[in-house]
Amino acid sequence: MSVSYNPQERVFRLDTPNTTYLIAIVDEEGFLGHAYYGKRIPDDNMQYTMRIFEGNVVPSVNNRDRVAFYDSLPTEYSTFGLGDFRESCLQVLDENGNRGVGLVYQDHRIIPGKPSLEPLPATYGETDECETLEITAYDPVLKLKVKLYYTAFTQIDAITRSALIVNENDQPITLTRAFSACLDLDNRNYDVITLHGAWSNERQINRRPAVPGRQGISSLRGVSSAQENPFIALAEHTATQKSGQVYAMNFVYSGNFMANVEMSEQGLTRMTMGIHPNGFAWNLAPNDSFQTPEVVLVYSSCGLNGMTHTFHDLYRGHLCRGPYRDQRRPSVINNWEGTYFDFNEEKILRIAEEAAKTGIEMFVLDDGWFGVRNDDNSGLGDWYVNTKKLPNGVKGLAEKINALGMRFGLWFEPEMVSPDSDLYRAHPDYAFQLPDRPHSLARNQLVLDLTRKEVRDCVYQQMYEVLSTANIEYVKWDMNRPLTNVGSYAATRENSGEIYHRYVLGVYDLQSRMLRDFPNLLLENCSSGGNRFDPGMLYYSPQIWTSDNTDAIDRLRIQEGTALVYPLSTMGAHVAACPSHMNGRTTPFATRGHVALVGCYGYELDLTKLTDEEKAMIPKQLEDYRNVGDIFRTGDYYRLASFAENGKYDVMMSVSKDQSKAAIVFVQVLTNLRGRSILMQLEGLDENRKYRCNLDGSVRTGAAWMYGGLLLPKLAGDFLSALITLEAVEE
C-alpha cells in the first residue's frame, strides 16, 4: 500500500518507491504535525523529529505557553491568528470580523486511486497507480472543515496535495487566503531554486542561499507568468545534478500564485504554495466549499536529475492527456515569422507546397486569418474568416493543404478582444474594465470577462463554427497580455475578490469544451510565448509554445530552465529564420535544427526564401525528429553542460528508458581555443552494456562512456553543433 495509518503511533505514512512522508496526530487536541519527508524508511515512530516536548510547550503539558507551541510546531496546514507567526496557508474573515483559525484532526479515510478535482486540472491515476489519503481537520469555533488530500504514486516519487474547505457554519465566511500546501523542514543550509525571466527570456534558473526571513516568487498578472514560474525548490547547498537532497513544489494552476520559503528563529524552514492572496477573497456561504488547486511535491536524494526525472515521468504519464499523450507530435510549419499579417491564400499555399516537398506533416496558419485583421490593432473577438485573404475560407484552404498530404492547424486568441471589433462594439461590457477609468491597453487589446458564462458561450460558439466546418487538427491557443482593470459587470462588492480565480476557471472551461467536442485535436497553449507554461495548461495541451524567442542560442538557456521541471515532449521548439527576428543573430541552419530537435519540432519561417542547401537539410532533420527525437520525448533527460553556467558550450542528453539508446546535442557557442577537445562524462547508461557511437563507430561499455567520457567533436567556429547517438550492441 502507498498509504497507511498506524493507530498506536497515530501516524499516517505515504510511501513512493524511494520516499516516505509521515504525518502525526499531536497531543490530545489532535494537531496535525509534519514528522518526516525524505528517503524511504520503514519506521513510523518519527514524532521525535518534531521536538514537541522540548521546552514543555505542548498544550497538554503546559498550556501557559500555547503560543510557543503554535509557533514551533512543524505543521501540515498552517493557519493564521492563534500564534503561528510564520507563513500561513489559511486565513479567513468571519461575520464578526475575526480572523483566527485553528484546525484539529477529526477523521480520515484512504481512497484507492485519485479523486478528480474538476473543474480544476490535476494529476490522475488508476487504483493500481496511486492511493489517496483524505484527512479531515476541523475548527469547532468557526465550524469550518478542511479536507487535506495527499496522493502517493506507486511507481513515481511524487506526492500531490490540495485542500477542500467547507463552511458548515450558518453564517458566511470569507477566505482571504487558501493555499494548497505547506512543508516544514529543519534548516539545512539550503539554496532556493526558482525559474525567473521575462518575455523572450523565460524560465532562467536562479539559485541563491536561503536566508532568515521570507523569500519567494509570485505572479499578479492573471497568468502564471514569464517573470516567475510556479516552481520552487530547496536544495542542499552542496547538491548537484547527480547528488544531494532536493525538495520541490510545482503548482498545477495557471493564474496568480505565491510560493514562499521562510526560515524561522526556531530552526525551521517552511515552504508554502497557493493562489496569491492579493486580490483574492472568496465568499463561502453556508454549506459551500472551495477547492484549492493541486501542488506536486517531489523529494530527490539524487540531486536535481532525480527531481527532474520525477516531474517528467509524472507529467508525461499522469497529467498530459488525450491521443497525443504518448505520441510523437507532428512536425509543423507555422507561417507567423514567415509572413506575419501579410499573406493571402496564394502565399500560404506556396509555403505549404514547399513544406510538403520536404515531408513536414502539418501547416499551421497563425494570426491574421479572421475579421478585419491586418495588424494587431483590430479584429480580436471576430472569429469569422477574412475572405479578402482567404476567398475559399478556412475550409477551402484546409482542403488544399490536405490535398498536398499535410494536415492543417489554426491560431486563435479566444481570451482577448480588440476595441476595434464587431464583438466589442456590440458588447463593450464583455471586456474587463473599471468604471470611470481609462482602459489599460496592452498590444491594443482588452481581456474578455471569462468569469461570465454568456461571454464564454459567445466566444466558444464562434470557434466551434470554424472548427466544425473545416478539417482542423491542431489549435494554437494564444494569450498576449496580462490582466488589468479587473472589474466585471457581473460582480458585486461581495464577490469581487473571486474574479481572478473565476477567470482561470473560465479558461479551463473553454479548453475543456474544445477537447470534449474535438477529442482528437492537438492543442498547443501559448501566452506571449511562455507566459503560461505551467502544469495547469499541460492538463489540456500536451505541448506549450516555449518562448517567442526562437533564436537557437537564446533557446539554450530557455529550454534548460524549462526542462528542469517540464518534459521535453511538451516544449514547442521551431527552426526560425536568420538573421533572428528577435536579436539579429545568425546561426547555422543545422544548429537551429539540433536545438529544436529536443522539443516538439517545427519551422517558423518562409520556406520559399530558404537556400537550396537549407531546403535539402530538412528531410534529414525530420528523419532525426522521427527517430532520435523519440529518445528526447520519452527518455530520461540529463544536463551535462550548461551554456548558462560556462558561457561557452551546451550539452544535453537523453537516454531511453530501456537504456538501449542515447542521444546528445552538443552546441559550441564560442570556439574552443584551448586546442583540446572536451571530454564529457555521460550519464544514465547501463555500465555493463556496450554502446556504439555514431561519431566514429567506436564501441565501449556504458561504464567507459560515463566514467572515462566521450570526446566531443572539435568544431571550427561559433554557433556550431553536433548530434551524437549511442546504441547498445550485442556481442
Catalytic residue among 548, 554, 606, 650: 548
Instruction: Let me know if 54 is exposed, middle or buried by CB neighbors in 10 A (0-12, 13-18, 19+).
Output: exposed
CA max distance for the chain = 83
Catalytic residue among 27, 478, 534, 606: 478
**How far is residue 158's CA from residue 151's CA, in Å, rounded to a whole number?**
8
CB 372 within 8 A of CB 453: no
Distances in Å between the alpha carbon of 653 and those of 156, 285, 640, 641?
Answer: 21, 53, 7, 10
**How far is residue 110's CA from residue 132's CA, in Å, rounded to a whole number?**
6
CB 188 within 8 A of CB 267: no
Closest CA relative to residue 503, chosen from 526, 525, 479: 479
Q: Which helix (H) or strand (E) holds 70?
A: helix 66-70
Radius of gyration of the chain (CA): 27
Instruction: Let me know if 504 is exposed, middle or buried by CB neighbors in 10 A (0-12, 13-18, 19+).
Output: buried
Count Cα neighbours of 447 within 13 Å in the Cβ-side half-sphere: 29
Closest CA relative to residue 460, chosen from 385, 536, 398, 381: 381
Q: Residue 161: what residue type?
A: R
For 412, phi and psi rounded to 5 degrees?
-135, 155
Closest CA relative to residue 633, chosen from 624, 642, 641: 624
CB 501 within 8 A of CB 279: no
**What DSSP letter does each residue of 580-647 carry, written as one string?**
-TTT-----HHHHHHHHHTSEEEEES-GGGS-HHHHHHHHHHHHHHHHHHHHHHHSEEEEEE-HHHHS
**How far is residue 175's CA from residue 92's CA, in Å, rounded to a whole number?**
5
CB 477 within 8 A of CB 414: yes
Closest CA relative to residue 677, chosen from 713, 643, 648: 713
**How far is residue 253's CA from residue 532's CA, in Å, rounded to a whole number?**
9
**How far is residue 558's CA from residue 277's CA, in Å, rounded to a whole number?**
29
Instruction: Let me know if 355 is exposed, middle or buried by CB neighbors in 10 A (0-12, 13-18, 19+).
Output: buried
Quote helix, strand, coil % in the chain, to nearest 5: 25, 35, 45
For 205, phi and psi rounded to 5 degrees?
-70, 125
Annotated catalytic residue 548: yes
Looking up cell 509543423 gives 332
Cell triple for 717:
567556429
Active site residues: 478, 548
